[in-house]
Every structure is written in structure tokens, then in C-alpha cells.
């Protein structure tokens, strides 16, 4: 019997434990690299110093250093993310240590030079002094404008506009610099909407200012409440990112979550997805190696790109035949003999030939199943069909024009070789 064969693949516990241990090691390594990337790129002082022309060249050198080593660490992170149980983590660990040491040494040297320049720059010292004074003035003015006093009268439209400006600046600073859940963001946006309605309202400046001050007080209390409550959420989100380290897409931003419970549920789902992806990748890789051992190489073609992305792979038997293998998300493995070529039409001769190939694959399938079992992948029989011409199918793998071009190229090459031999 060698019609389409449907089995369910299971990975033996011993191999599964090895895969899980290897992924845990890669997850820790990815976390370490991401932490180093954050440390290398974290230097807020450079932004301020680079505004002074005399310091900008030295700042640019440090930025170049950060970019160089960040790029190499990012390359290592990609290797870790796309790796499997065969990844040489010790070599990566060693290189991480070398990168860290090299960067730290050069960074400290360049920062000494930059700090010396900053210390001797009158312009920078004056600029820094003015910046600090401006910040202090702004903070004092915020308190003055937002300080509600009883019996206040004679409020000008300019004072109302200044209060609204203070609210807007502080609001934007909080929204861009604070992690929050979607419900927090919605509450803040409603508060901002209230302020806009007050500004556009048809009542006295005194009443507008009083209302803006109360909304600002509500804003500061809400901001404090959000920051305090986000500590646990941010820790959970870091766990979520760690569990998602080797997923290629679908990673959510923290603002997309509505609650702690939703985030916890997502972490559980990510773990299940990672386990499924890891198992599927291992099964696919073992099938690749076993099929290659028997001379069945993967059919390469641009026309098969969508087919391959769906989890289906063609292993070529000869120029006109292949084994079509599909591994589903639930690790169901389907194998069937198919014709390949530049069209999907099946002639009478091809119909018979494909039937004979079905019969021939019958003797090979048990051996493939046994070799997969030796690698820890056990195929549990779900449905094995007997050979039948009704299962014959042909898949387009190349354009006719491409085939003709290849044939012409081979013919031209042969003629060239014959001419060369004749001259010799």
C-alpha cells in the first residue's frame, strides 16, 4: 500500500527534553545579549554633549563604537534566535565576552577624552548651566500656574493658554516615556479630551483655569497610580519577551494588553506555540536528513515558495517525480507521490508511471519510518492508502520557457565542448 500516507509524529521524551534544555539555554543567552545591547546603547549624556560643536566629533566616535559592537551583538542574537539544539552556545558565549571586553575598554578611553573636552569647554559649561536653570524655572512655573488659590480673579486668556500648554507638555512626556496597558492609555486620552473641551468651552477664563488645574491634579495622581502598578506588569512583559525570543512575528507591544490576566494568558500561549514550533522544526529537519540519505533532495523552485511556507516540501525522486511531504501545525505528517513539471496535466503514460512510483514507494516508507524513529521521531499510523491512480497528482515546479532555456543552454554548452575538442 503506497497511496497517500497520513501519520501523526511524536518526539520521544528523551529527545524532547534535550530540545527543551537547549531552547532554555538559548533563551538565557538571548536575554543576556539583549541586556548588553541595552547597556551599550544607553548614554543620555551624549545627546546633550553633541549639541556643543566642539564636542560633537568625540560624541560621534562613541556613537560609532556603540553601533559597531551593537551590530555584532545583533548578529549573534539572530544566530541564537534561529538556532536549534546543535547551536554552539559556548562559542557564542566566548565571543560575547570578547565583545564586552573590547567595547568597555575602548568606550572608557573615549569617554575620558570626551569628559576632558567637556570640562575644558566654556561653551558647554555655560550651555549645561543654562539648561539646568531653564529646567528649574519650568518646574517653578508649573507649580505657580497649576497652584489653585481661593478667590483668584482677573485671570487672563494667556494664563489659561499657559496652563493648557503645561498640561500638554507633561501629558506628552508621560505618554511617550511610560509603559502602560491599553486601559491606562484610554483613561489618559479621555482626560486629555476633557482638557480640550474645557479650552474650547464658552465660559470665563477663571472657570477654565480652575477646571484645567483640577484635571492636571487628576492627571498627576493617575500617572503615579499607573507607574506604581506597572512594575509587576513590566516584569511579566519581560517574561513574555523572553519566551518569545525565537518567534519571528506576532510579538505584541505592552500597550496592546488590557490587563495583567491577559498578559499571563498570552505568556502561556506563547510557551505552547514555541513548543509546537520547536517540535515541528525538529520533525521537518529529521525528515529532510532521512530523505536526503535516500537520495531525495528538496526540489528548489521559486514557484514552490508559497508551497514551502505552508509546511509542504517536495523531495525529488527524478526529474518528473517527487515525494510531497506536508507537516501540519499538529505534527500530522502526510506523504504522497506526485508528478512535477511545467504543467499540471497528466498524460496516460504519466498516469501509469505515477501509479508505478506509488507502488515503488511502498517498500521505502517502512524504512523511512524506522530511521525517523531512530532519530526520536515516531510516526503513529493514522491512515495509509493503497496505490490507486485516483491519487495521481502533478505539481507545477517550473515554467515551460525556463525548461526550454535550460535545454538550449545545455545544447549550446555541448556544442561548445565539441568545437573545443575538434580544435584540440
The predicted pLDDT at position 70 comes to 95
Residue 89 phi/psi, 5° resolution? Answer: -70, -30
Using the predicted structure, report yes or no on whether residue 400 has a pLDDT greater than 80.
Answer: no
pLDDT attached to residue 419: 43
Asked if residue 394 has pLDDT above 70, the reply is: yes
CA distances from 112 to 57, 65, 213, 361, 412 (A): 14, 14, 46, 71, 67
User: What pLDDT, in 10s, does the model give residues 180-210?
Assistant: 888 899 999 999 999 889 888 888 888 888 8
Q: Which pLDDT value is given to residue 148? A: 58
Determine if residue 204 is left, alpha or beta; phi over 0 gives left, psi from -120 to 50 gives alpha, anything else beta: beta
Report the C-alpha gap between 7 and 311 in whole angstroms.
15
| Residues 415-421, mean pLDDT to the nearest whole number | 44
At residue 299 the predicted structure's pLDDT band, cuts being 50, 70 and 90, is: confident
| Average confidence score pLDDT of the chain | 84
Whether pTM exceeds 0.85: no
Residue 142's CB: how many other CB atoms inside 10 A? 17
Residues 43-56: what's their mean pLDDT? 79
Check: CB of residue 281 under 8 Å from CB of residue 327. no
Q: How confident is the model at residue 149 (pLDDT cuts 50, 70, 90)?
A: low
How confident is residue 414, by pLDDT bands cut at 50, 70 and 90?
very low
150 conformational bin, left if phi > 0, alpha if psi -120 to 50, beta if neither: beta
**In terms of DSSP bridges, do strands 297-298 and 321-327 run parallel, antiparallel, or are they unpaired?**
unpaired
Q: What is the per-residue pLDDT for 108? A: 92
Residue 413 is predicted with a pLDDT of 47
Give dist(CA 15, CA 2) in Å, integer.
29
Lowest mean pLDDT among 241-245, 373-377, 399-403: 399-403
Cα–Cα distance list, 182 to 154, 186, 292, 296 (Å)? 40, 6, 50, 51
Higher local confidence (pLDDT), 310 or 1: 310
Quote the pLDDT of residue 310: 64
What is the mean predicted confidence (pLDDT) over 341-366? 90
List beta partners, residue 341.
396
User: For the residues 353-373, what does the mean pLDDT come to?
Assistant: 92
What is the pLDDT at residue 124? 60
Q: Which helix (H) or strand (E) holds 298?
A: strand 297-298
The string of pLDDT tens digits covering residues 93-116 is 999 999 999 999 999 999 898 888
Amino acid at each position: 500500500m503506497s497511496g497517500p500516507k497520513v501519520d501523526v509524529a511524536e518526539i520521544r521524551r528523551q529527545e524532547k527534553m534535550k530540545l527543551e534544555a537547549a531552547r532554555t539555554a538559548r533563551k538565557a543567552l538571548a536575554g543576556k545579549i539583549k541586556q548588553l545591547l541595552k547597556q551599550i546603547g544607553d548614554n543620555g549624556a551624549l545627546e546633550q554633549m553633541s549639541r556643543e560643536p566642539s564636542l560633537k566629533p568625540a560624541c560621534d566616535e562613541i556613537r560609532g563604537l556603540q553601533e559597531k559592537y551593537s551590530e555584532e551583538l545583533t548578529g549573534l542574537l539572530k544566530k541564537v534566535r534561529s538556532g536549534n539544539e546543535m547551536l554552539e552556545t559556548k562559542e557564542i558565549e566566548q565571543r560575547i565576552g570578547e565583545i564586552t571586553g573590547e567595547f568597555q575598554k575602548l568606550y572608557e578611553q573615549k569617554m575620558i577624552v570626551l569628559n576632558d573636552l567637556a570640562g575644558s569647554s566654556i561653551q558647554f559649561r555655560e550651555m549645561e548651566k543654562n539648561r539646568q536653570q531653564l529646567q528649574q524655572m519650568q518646574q517653578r512655573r508649573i507649580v505657580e500656574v497649576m497652584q489653585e488659590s481661593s478667590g483668584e480673579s482677573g485671570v487672563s486668556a494667556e494664563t489659561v493658554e499657559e496652563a493648557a500648554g503645561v498640561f500638554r507638555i507633561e501629558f506628552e512626556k508621560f505618554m511617550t516615556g511610560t509603559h502602560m496597558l491599553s486601559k491606562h492609555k484610554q483613561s489618559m486620552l479621555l482626560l486629555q479630551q476633557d482638557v480640550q473641551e474645557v479650552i474650547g468651552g464658552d465660559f470665563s477664563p477663571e472657570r477654565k483655569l480652575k477646571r484645567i488645574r483640577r484635571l492636571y491634579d487628576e492627571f498627576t495622581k493617575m500617572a503615579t497610580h499607573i507607574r506604581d502598578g506597572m512594575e509587576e506588569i513590566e516584569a511579566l512583559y519581560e517574561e513574555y519577551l523572553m519566551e518569545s525570543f525565537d518567534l519571528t512575528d506576532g510579538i505584541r507591544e505592552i500597550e496592546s494588553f488590557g490587563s495583567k490576566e491577559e498578559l499571563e494568558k498570552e505568556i502561556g500561549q506563547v510557551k505552547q506555540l514555541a513548543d509546537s514550533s520547536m517540535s515541528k522544526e525538529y520533525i521537518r529537519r529529521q525528515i529532510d536528513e532521512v530523505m536526503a540519505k535516500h537520495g531525495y533532495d528538496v526540489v528548489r523552485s521559486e514557484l514552490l515558495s508559497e508551497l514551502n511556507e505552508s509546511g509542504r516540501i517536495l523531495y525529488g525522486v527524478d526529474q518528473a517525480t517527487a515525494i510531497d511531504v506536508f507537516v501540519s501545525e499538529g505534527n500530522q505528517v502526510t506523504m504522497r507521490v506526485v508528478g512535477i513539471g511545467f504543467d499540471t496535466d497528466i498524460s496516460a503514460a504519466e498516469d501509469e508511471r505515477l501509479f508505478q512510483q506509488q507502488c515503488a514507494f511502498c517498500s521505502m516508507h517502512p524504512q523511512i519510518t524506522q530511521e525517523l524513529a531512530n532519530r526520536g521521531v515516531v510516526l503513529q499510523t493514522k491512515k495509509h492508502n493503497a496505490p490507486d491512480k485516483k491519487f495521481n497528482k502533478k505539481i507545477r515546479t517550473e515554467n515551460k520557457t525556463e525548461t526550454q532555456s535550460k535545454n538550449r543552454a545545455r545544447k549550446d554548452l555541448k556544442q561548445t565542448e565539441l568545437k573545443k575538442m575538434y580544435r584540440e
